Amino acid sequence: MARIVIHEVGPRDGLQMEKQVVAIETKEAWIRAVMASGVDIVQVGSFVHPEKVPQMADTDELFRRLTRDKTSPTVLSGLVLNEKGLERGLACGVEMFCMGASASETHSSKNTGMGTEEATRRIIGAARQAVAAGKKVQVSVQSAFGCGFEGPIPQERVLGMVRAYLEAGLGSISLADTAGHGQPAQVERLFGAIRELDPAVELTCHFHNTYGLGMANIFAAVRSGVTSFETSFAGLGGCPFTKVAAGNVATEDFVHALHLQGLRTDVDLDRLLGVARDVAAHFGRDLQGFVYKIGPIPTKEHA
């Protein structure tokens, strides 16, 4: 099995739905703790209009703080939806750009103000600029497994967007289950079809846990050759522009599951559990994660 890559998206996808704006010092502390755990990538924030998503208004400053005298090998990623976001990200030190378009016309319009075709075209243009600037780039298809507004999304529509990315030379591709409609057999079919288009493609998945299928979908993706996984501390999160916003698979739950199989034991689960507990305490409510509440299944590491 190829090495599994863990991409923590809590600081962006986790926090974007929260009405209580988290102080930049608190965000920075959570991010630094996740970096210290040995997670591969942390998504610091998104470059969106502060009036639309006030929680992300400090993203530029967060990147400046985290990249100043940085020694950690953890890659710092940022989400951009347009050319202006790319410009901001290049100016403040983003190391990896995540950008994408939705396969749902309704979600695309609500999220970006553009239809799928225009959004895809503009994302490809921005992605090429980021690549030319020497940055790592991951492009995504959002609402790839279904949409809360439109229902099922035709597989061929998703594959058409993937073909456009591949033809543009963009070989790191994520499928996001924005509405949480995905189920394991569908996951295997869709990722298998992408592998047939290009066996060398680098695949990432991002599953929301709306119907409790997130972890099952992750391991269906593993069976399909996916190597990179986006998860959120304590399972926090949800897209504010989808019909039913729900959290993600919890990073610490995923790492716990990996540890039980002897995988990614280099990642410090105890440190991730500490972050999840801090996040839950900060918001004063139980979050979707499981292991942070009850502790890990005893192993030699936690005997």
Q: What is the CATH number of the domain that holds 30?
A: 3.20.20.70
Q: Using CA atoms, how far apart are residues 143 and 151, in angstroms rounded to an integer?
A: 10
Tens digit of pLDDT for each residue in 238-284? Answer: 655 444 456 899 999 999 999 999 999 999 999 999 999 999 999 99
Contact 180, 186 (CB under 8 A): no
Q: What pLDDT score does 112 carry?
A: 77
Asked if the model's pLDDT at residue 103 lies above 80, the reply is yes
For the chain, the domain total comes to 1
Question: Is 302 a domain residue?
Answer: no
- The answer to whether 97 and 89 have CB atoms below 8 angstroms apart is yes
Instruction: Evaluate whether residue 277 is within a structural domain.
Output: yes
Q: What is the H or E stretch that residue 78 is in?
A: strand 75-80
| Residue 59 within any structural domain of the chain | yes
pLDDT over 90 (residue 300): no
Answer whether residue 303 is part of any domain.
Answer: no
Q: Active site includes 239?
A: yes
**Largest pairwise CA distance in the chain:** 54
Residue 146, pLDDT score: 93
299 in a structural domain: no
- pTM of the complete model: 0.94
User: Does residue 300 sit within a domain?
Assistant: no
Which of 92, 98, 205, 239 is an active site residue? 239
Domain assignment present for 224: yes
Dist. CA 10–CA 191, nearest whole Å: 24
* Domain boundaries, position 146: 5-294
> What is d(CA 277, CA 81) in angstroms, rounded to the nearest whole number?
31
Average pLDDT, the chain: 93
Distance set, CA 202 to CA 7, 95, 98, 207 (Å): 14, 18, 14, 17
With respect to residue 161, please indicate whether it lies within any of the assigned structural domains: yes
